[in-house]
Amino acid sequence: MNTLLQDIRFGFRMLLKHKAFTAIAVIALGLGIGANTAIFSLVNGVLLRPLSFPDAERIIYFEGRNPSSGITDSNISFLDFTDWSQQTDLFKATAAFWTGNANLGADGAEPERVPRAGVTSGFFPVLGVQPVLGRTFVPEDDKPETTSVAIISHGLWKRRFGSDPAIVGKQAQISSRPITVIGVMPSGFEFPEQTQVWVPSAVNLSDEPRDNRAWSAIARLNPDVDLMQAQTRISAINAQLAKQFHETNKGWDVFLSTLHERVVREVKPSLLALLGAVGFVLLIACANVANLLLARSAARQKEIAIRAAMGASQGRVLRQMLTESILLSAIGGIAGLLLSVWLTDVLMSIVPEGAPRLDQVGIDYRVLTFALGVSALTGILFGLVPALHASKLDVTSALKEGGRSAEGHRRTSARSLLLIGEVALSLMLLVGAGLLIKSFVRLQEVRPGFNAHNVLIANVALPGAKYKDQQFVEFFRQLKDRLEAAPGVQAVGGAINLPLGASGYGIGRGFVPEGRPLTRDELFDASCSPITGDYFRALQIPLLGGRFFQLRDNAEAPKIVIINESMAKRHFGSPSEAIGKRLTIWRDENFMREIVGVVGDTKTGSLTGESGAQVYVPHAQDSQWNFMGMVIRTAGDPAAFATTLRREVQALDKDQPIYNVRTMDDVVMNSIGTRRVSMQLFTVFACAALLLAALGIYGVMACSVTQRTQEIGLRMALGAQKSDVLGLVIRQGMALTVIGVIVGLAGAFALTRVIGNLLYGVTATDPATFVAIPLVLLFVALLACYLPARRAARLDPTRALAQS
């Protein structure tokens, strides 16, 4: 221990003696460790921290799939769920639920729209959460007539009900219906999707169709059951159900995963790719610091030789050198940890809206352990090669007066290898960034089918207890008229299915063209949305044939639809041929609708997805829908019209809230948010890597020129011109760079597949990127070689030869 303290004391002294070197190394390491720690804190919070439920790893999620129809990530059928729930040897508890929203109002406070979930009685037992006040649902609450009770969140209780301790048993107006509050959940519990109000699912089993796949389901596994066992049994049950209910269940199965896995599935690949990328940057920083240490070790040869002559064993020298390295990396680690706090805040500010589990991101013991571990590992990584070099010194040669050391060659080889490694890693990062940038550019060129600029959107959901059918239609018609009268408003419309899923809702139905049998095999799926007002004009979706809906297309008028271009071409040949044809929306309707118009395709789910078949119906002719995603085209900044919208809605109904208020530009930006952030971060990392590699190349070449000063002087004395010397040095540097580029290209071919799912319109082995990036790197390397080469070419041969 005492000798270790000696080494530590000496290490500090050496770091203080070489302040410039220490500062450069600490900055490089601090940046590398800080960036890694920041990304890890994101990974830790989102991916590693368990869900905040007891034994959360036992909670599973049921994801509907129909491989033969290419359907994944579907909701499930409630009746299928009741069959699975009977497997009590597998599941301790099961629950099904749906999500929606509810209006809060009529209590004098500002009307508010809050997320709501309808759940079965097993919901809270599955999650293992107890209320802080009152009770949760019991099996009796599952009966269809039980609709007048609710459980509220802690936040809502505090915000809306003033933390009233006597809230249990009191009535509240939820969606214009009196509801009795029976419980309050603990602070922070808002599953699923920031739910504020939980109501009983109220399913009437005799009325529930087996193919109504509108439910989500979770379960808690029994202690002695694993996921594989549960999957095998449920799949067997589903196979049985497919035989028994051929028409509704053919091809359907479920995929079981942990709830945690389900929550983080979308972001996991991006986060892991970023962690890998930032790890590369740290490796490059380590290689740079290792090269600096190797350069310094030339000056420390004498010291090491003396120590060996005084009796230091190879192990003792190794320990001393590694102690100094770890000391350096510890200082870098502290700087990095401090930097990571700021970097984490920056990351959180650019992460796209809606990313899961961001509330879990922070510095905890795992992050601190990671920072500590990375610091120690970094110190060993960059210190090992120089330390091994130093410990294997030829003492005799080093101590001899005027002796030339053979160590120079070994050290040069090590530095060359480190440099090749740096260049290779940089190239891999640069290729990754290049692919992501190209992909992002392609994505931005995608035409969404509408004009997102100067458009405000907001959801309005009317309570069923207050309005019915044509009253919904009338409300939205009046709202449109009032908004169109406001200064600066150019067009107003509404739809349930907004492009890019902007409303948060989507109706999908099946349709059968006229003349085809009304059977399941003839059914085509389509996104099917009632619309109101001047929806198409508000979004500037072009009319390709026929006409838009008009006021006369009311409930008494002939039933009509407008379809999109893709559907017209696929099913009717062309837009013009589709006009006048008829179809039926089966099995919701038993009559024909005439196609009166064809509009351009719009992106429904995402910019990268296909548009698919899209059907629009006049709200007046499908009036059961109480909800509209309102679309307002404005002359100026659309965000400024939110107040106008709220005012006009509340002028029609003072208790009616609006929610999900955003501009359409924000929706488009957010739809590519994950890709944008990944691209930005990768680019930052790649640029940092390029800079570090360039500095590394410069450092190695500068050191090489210093070591070869006498040789260069001799060459010049023998007749070498400046250009010969320039060529000599640049060739040496570029040779190493080219080897690094070749190794890097091989690595890039292997590794870019990791980011394949983040790419759009670009393959992971895009030839143009794989050619352009190496050229960029080679050019930067050439610049880095040029400066030391120019110094070498300017050497005075006489002075160079005199140098010993």
Partner 1 sequence: MSMITLKHLERFYPLAKGKFFYVLRDINLEVNEGDFVSIMGPSGAGKSSLLHVIGMHDHAWSGEYYFDDDPIHSLKPKERSTLRNEKIGFVFQNYHLLDDLTVYENLDIPLSYRHVNKAGRDSIVCDALDRFHIVGKKDLYPRQLSGGQQQLVSIARAMIANPKLILADEPTGNLHSDQGKEIMEMFKTLNAGGTTIIQVTHSDVNAAYGNRIIQLRDGFVV
Site for partner 1, rule CB under 8 A: 2-3, 6, 10, 13-14, 17, 302-303, 305-313, 316, 395-396, 399-401
The distance in angstroms from the start CA to the end CA of the chain is 41
Q: Which is nearer to partner 1, 17 or 552 (CB)?
A: 17
Q: Which is nearer to partner 1, 102 or 308 (CB)?
A: 308
Angle at 365 (CA atoms; ends 223, 336), nearest 5 degrees: 145
Minimum distance from residue 712 beta carbon to partner 1 (Å): 24
Q: Which is nearer to partner 1, 398 or 688 (CB)?
A: 398
Ordered DSSP codes for 271-288: HHHHHHHHHHHHHHHHHH
Q: Which is nearer to partner 1, 312 or 631 (CB)?
A: 312
Determine the angle formed by the axes of helices 673-707 and 268-299, rounding to 10 degrees.
10
Q: Which is nearer to partner 1, 10 or 255 (CB)?
A: 10
CA distance 321 to 25: 15
Q: Residue 380 is encoded by which pair of tokens?
A: 């060993």
Q: Alpha carbon 567 to chain centroid distance?
A: 32
Minimum distance from residue 7 beta carbon to partner 1 (Å): 10
Question: Which residues fall within 8 angstroms of residue 621, CB to CB, at 6 or more apart?
Answer: 530, 553, 554, 555, 557, 559, 560
Q: Which is nearer to partner 1, 18 or 582 (CB)?
A: 18
Q: Which is nearer to partner 1, 141 or 407 (CB)?
A: 407
Q: What is the largest CA-CA distance in the chain?
A: 110
582 preceded by a cis bond (ω within 30 of 0): no
Q: Which is nearer to partner 1, 392 or 447 (CB)?
A: 392
Minimum distance from residue 391 beta carbon to partner 1 (Å): 13
Ordered DSSP codes for 17-51: HTHHHHHHHHHHHHHHHHHHHHHHHHHIIIIISPP
Minimum distance from residue 2 beta carbon to partner 1 (Å): 5
192 preceded by a cis bond (ω within 30 of 0): yes
Minimum distance from residue 20 beta carbon to partner 1 (Å): 16
Minimum distance from residue 401 beta carbon to partner 1 (Å): 6
Q: Residue 194 is encoded by which pair of tokens?
A: 């920031």
* Beta carbons of 200 and 146 less than 8 angstroms apart: yes
* Beta carbons of 591 and 559 less than 8 angstroms apart: yes
CA nearest 584: which of 608, 552, 617? Answer: 617
* Beta carbons of 659 and 116 less than 8 angstroms apart: no
Q: Which is nearer to partner 1, 399 or 592 (CB)?
A: 399
* Beta carbons of 606 and 669 less than 8 angstroms apart: no
Q: Specify the pairing of strand 489-495 against strand 524-533.
A: antiparallel
Q: Which is nearer to partner 1, 1 or 166 (CB)?
A: 1
Minimum distance from residue 710 beta carbon to partner 1 (Å): 21
Minimum distance from residue 15 beta carbon to partner 1 (Å): 11
Minimum distance from residue 715 beta carbon to partner 1 (Å): 22
Q: Which is nearer to partner 1, 1 or 718 (CB)?
A: 1
Element at 254 (helix H, strand E):
strand 253-258
Minimum distance from residue 303 beta carbon to partner 1 (Å): 6
Minimum distance from residue 308 beta carbon to partner 1 (Å): 8
